[in-house]
Homo-oligomer: A and B are copies of this chain.
Amino acid sequence: MVDALRAAMNDNGIDWFVIFSQDPHLSEYTAKCDKYREYFSQFTGSAGTLLVGVDEAYLWTDSRYFIQAEHELEGTGISLMRSGMAGVATLYDFLCEHIWEGQKIAFDLMSISFASYEKLRRRLPQSVEIEDGAKILKSTAGEVGKRQFNEIVAVPEKYAGRSVADKLSDIRKRIKKDILYDQSYSYIISDLTSIMWTFNLRGGDIEYVPVAYAYAVITGYGATLYLSKRSLSDEAKKTLDDEGIVVKEYSLFYKDLDDIATDIVIADPDKNNSRILSVFADRGDLARCSDAAIITKYIKNKAEIDGMRDAHLKDAVTMIKFIKTVKEAAASGSLGDEYTTGKMLDDARIADGSCCPSFETICAYRENSAIVHYTAKEGEAKKIEPESFLLVDSGGQYRFTGTTDITRTILLGEATEEEKSVYTAVLKGNLRLMDTIFPEGYKGALLDGIAEQPLWEKGYFCGHGIGHGVGHYLSVHESEARISRASSEGEAAIRTGVIVSNEPGVYNEGKFGVRLENLLLTVSAKSIDGNRMCRFEPLTLVPFDKDAIDFLELSEKEIGILKKYYGLIWEKVSPLLDEDDKKWLKETIDIK
């Protein structure tokens, strides 16, 4: 595949070609039409960057994908660059070391954020020319590139909780805070989840995330949406009409950018691609902002919270039945393989009311559970035996009401001492974070240590963030607020209404991994002396695996937290279960 690209590079005098994995909206998950990197490299992981030189080619990906990438890159002649490993240069460092004065580099300007573009431009020698590689990609990548547009529907206000007019008015107020005089402005949004949320729309253009391709431009007096007009449902069309939103064809967006005549253009340089913002930055019209400060979708309103609670009740029923089935199959010797077991869960979730998974289910057995983003392939998946751990990380989209994301690590057979020790440490982390009280408005990084400390005490650490934000019937990974040591200045604070995951994990390579993930809703706690404090309400209502817990290692306090959680599960979920499942649940949560 790379050969066709090299030929085009040669024709155009291009020395280096970079293929990023993001789409023009910088989406985390992308549709087939944007999978150029996959097409040229054969590597199917969600994160990775391909660099093609005249004689050599390299693919950068992170530790989640090392094993998969080794396998998939075999025979392609592409060298694997293991990001984050000692001695492995980053793409930028590598480029700066290998590119010569006067060489030409190309990439699709729409596949890189403006912030990253600026960083790269600053680091490359001035004599290096950057060319937009979009056309070359399209012409050499065959069937990739044909964008599909699916139906766009309106979210009824009873689920959205707020009207579009209300959200727009709030957004304009927030923008006003950041601009100084009576400047006219255009606020550009490319992030699909932000656009969907703002305009109370949902689509089906990207797997796992109910979004439609769109761009939005909001000014002080109006708003224009660029999308596939004929994909709009009647309801959606009517809502937009009623709200006075100008709707234009998706394909007109880049042309219309030239006509923007407001004093300034406001946009988040991390959330808009470099083709959109370069022009405005060059002419000094760009005012940088953080989308999280303006579009507050990460703070859920009452309707969204009610919907999320409802979705999680449905999800709990599915998960409890699933865990029971797996544990019983282990006892009766009728376990399937990772793929069939994962599929069984996916099917059950749909049967129980979910419209689709919120991400690709991870069903990973034994040593595969130590691979953070493992995907079992049909026919190649590992057979599950009645011993060791089965890690299942999955979630569902529930139409209009919410998005779920849960990980349970299920013990099959008898636990070894090491298995119990690791499981219990991870559980301690999960419980301590679930129970903590903290001041409203703190950033999540401050809570990371609370979940991680029990792991540290045993010499482990969690290789990934402890928690990510979660959208309301949107992306299961919402970037604004999170609980992660990779804290950034633009990061949103944790406050009442914010939903984050709580998913400490330990991965013993070659042996097993344990991750326990609940979604947590931030609610108010008692205030003392006027200090506004918060605590978490668990949205996820599924028990942990009693057989894997070393109860002697839990403190009295931790057992108290567990009991309280189990009390909540019983109260909320047991009425929805049939007698058999209810009996199983009762036994599982009975910890004396």
Listed in ascending order, the chain A residues whose CB lies under 8 Å from chain B are: 96-97, 123, 125, 180-181, 436-439, 442-443, 445-450, 452-453, 456-461, 485, 487-489, 508-509, 525-529, 531, 533, 555
Contact = CB atoms under 8 A, between A and B. Distances in A.
A125 B180 contact: yes
A439 B461 contact: yes
Nearest to A556: B555
Given A436-B456, A446-B449, A529-B459, A181 B485 contact: no
A289 to B, nearest CB: 13
Nearest to A123: B180
A556 to B, nearest CB: 9
Contacts of A459: 437, 525-529, 531, 533
Find the residue from A125, A446, A485, A533 having the highest chain B CB count within 10 A: A446
A446 B437 contact: no
Given A439-B461, A531-B460, A487 B445 contact: yes
A347 B457 CA distance: 42
Contacts of A438: 449, 452-453, 456, 461
Contact of A487 (B436, B447, B487, B555): B487
Contacts of A180: 96-97, 123, 125
A96 B183 CA distance: 14
A569 B526 CA distance: 39
B555 A529 contact: no
Closest 10 interchain pairs by CB?
A459-B528, A439-B461, A446-B449, A437-B456, A449-B449, A449-B450, A445-B445, A446-B448, A438-B456, A446-B485
A289 B556 CA distance: 49
A213 B181 CA distance: 42
A528 B447 contact: no
A449 B509 CA distance: 29
A577 to B, nearest CB: 34
A295 B443 CA distance: 29
Nearest to A533: B459
A181 B125 contact: yes
Contacts of A460: 528-529, 531
B449 A533 contact: no
B445 A528 contact: no
Contacts of A442: 485
A530 to B, nearest CB: 10
Given A125-B180, A437-B456, A438-B456, A531 B446 contact: no
B456 A533 contact: yes
A181 B453 CA distance: 43
A531 B461 contact: yes
B461 A436 contact: no
A385 to B, nearest CB: 24
Contacts of A487: 443, 445, 487
Nearest to A466: B446
A307 B555 CA distance: 40
Contact of A439 (B456, B488, B489): B456
7 contacts: A96-B180, A436-B456, A437-B456, A450-B450, A459-B525, A459-B528, A459-B529
A436 B458 CA distance: 11
Contacts of A509: 529
Nearest to A461: B439
Contacts of A96: 180
B446 A452 contact: yes
Nearest to A484: B446
A367 to B, nearest CB: 14
A526 B443 CA distance: 30
Find the residue from A439, A449, A529 having the highest chain B CB count within 10 A: A449
Find the residue from A436, A487, A527 having the highest chain B CB count within 10 A: A487
Nearest to A459: B528
A449 B461 CA distance: 16
Nearest to A439: B461
Contacts of A181: 125
A447 B488 CA distance: 16
Nearest to A447: B449
A527 to B, nearest CB: 7
Nearest to A126: B284
Contact of A529 (B445, B485, B508, B525): B508
A113 to B, nearest CB: 17
A453 B450 contact: yes
A525 B447 CA distance: 23
A520 to B, nearest CB: 15
A551 to B, nearest CB: 17
Nearest to A436: B453
A164 to B, nearest CB: 30
Contact of A555 (B485, B533, B555): B555
A358 to B, nearest CB: 28
Contacts of A436: 449, 453, 456-457
A436 B432 CA distance: 15
A211 B508 CA distance: 49
A39 B533 CA distance: 41
A97 B508 CA distance: 56
A446 B455 CA distance: 14
A567 to B, nearest CB: 20
A445 B445 CA distance: 7
A445 B456 CA distance: 16
Contacts of A443: 445, 485, 487
